[in-house]
Amino acid sequence: KIKDLESKKETLDKLKKENEELDFIIKELNDKKFIIQNDIESNKELENNYVMNKKLLEQLLDSQKKLELSIVINNKDKDFIEKELMILKSDIENKEKASSKLDYYTKLCDWFDSFFINIIDIIEKKTMSKLHSDFSDLFQKWFSMLIDESVLKVRLDEEFTPIIEQNSHDIEYENLSGGEKTSCALAYRLALNQVINNISNSINTKDLIILDEPTDGFSEEQLDKIRDIIKELKMRQIIIVSHENKVESFVDNVIKIKKENHISKVIR
């Protein structure tokens, strides 16, 4: 019995020990279970975070694509706007240049209107005044060589029209005698020719003059004065058409023309 008791005691101790070990194991298992449950809870939270972050990432990626598309569109718009700006800038520069030219030409026109034209008018008036003075002086010179100034005087009005004066009174050209009319016309013709030659260097016939019947109605004394006028002219060639035989005496060459049956022939 004692042995049975000891045996049971041993068995009991053994069972206690086993129970203690089991309790310890159970405790460890419970601890592990708690840890595992915590891990599970943590993993669930991580999973939720993952799902949420994944959705957020997808949204961000979608937003990125939209932004990239917007950037491409904006770049195209930017290129278009830059080209438009370049065109506008060029257009503005061209308009500014045109405006500058317009302003220059406007000022130039104003200058022409206000100053240059006035200067031209003054120059023209002075030129015409000088021309008129020279013309009138030459007209009077040639006329005085043909007609005594005590009998008749001549001058030019502002329109270059001959004015004939007799005894301090103006008389009409039609009231002159034939010789006086011819003298007036010849003096005017010679003065006009000389004035034109003086103001122009491009005339190829400056040393040539043709006088058609310059002695019509002249007296013998006036015919002699033609000789002096020819010398005074100092021209290389003077052609005189005349029916006066006396003219032949003061020219270098005589060409005679005879008309027969309405045909003119040269007679040496």
Domain count, the chain: 1
The answer to whether residue 163 is domain-embedded is no
The whole-angstrom separation of Cα 196 and Cα 199 is 5
Q: Which of 169-173, 227-231, 247-251 has the highest mean pLDDT?
A: 169-173
Q: When comparing pLDDT for 5 and 147, which is higher? A: 147
> Any idea how long the chain is?
268
The answer to whether residue 231 is domain-embedded is yes
The predicted-structure confidence for 15-71, as pLDDT tens digits, reads as follows: 788 778 888 888 888 888 888 878 777 777 777 777 788 888 888 888 888 878 888
The predicted-structure confidence for 148-171, as pLDDT tens digits, reads as follows: 888 899 999 989 999 999 988 999
CATH number of the structural domain spanning residue 256: 3.40.50.300
The answer to whether residue 8 is domain-embedded is no
The answer to whether residue 262 is domain-embedded is yes
How far is residue 39 CA from its own chain's centroid? 91
pLDDT given at position 54: 83
Question: Of 191, 257, 184, whose CA–CA distance to 218 is shortest?
Answer: 184
What is the span of the domain harbouring residue 241?
207-268
The pTM for the full model equals 0.55
The answer to whether residue 250 is domain-embedded is yes
The predicted-structure confidence for 70-127, as pLDDT tens digits, reads as follows: 888 888 877 888 888 888 888 888 998 988 888 888 887 787 777 777 877 777 888 8
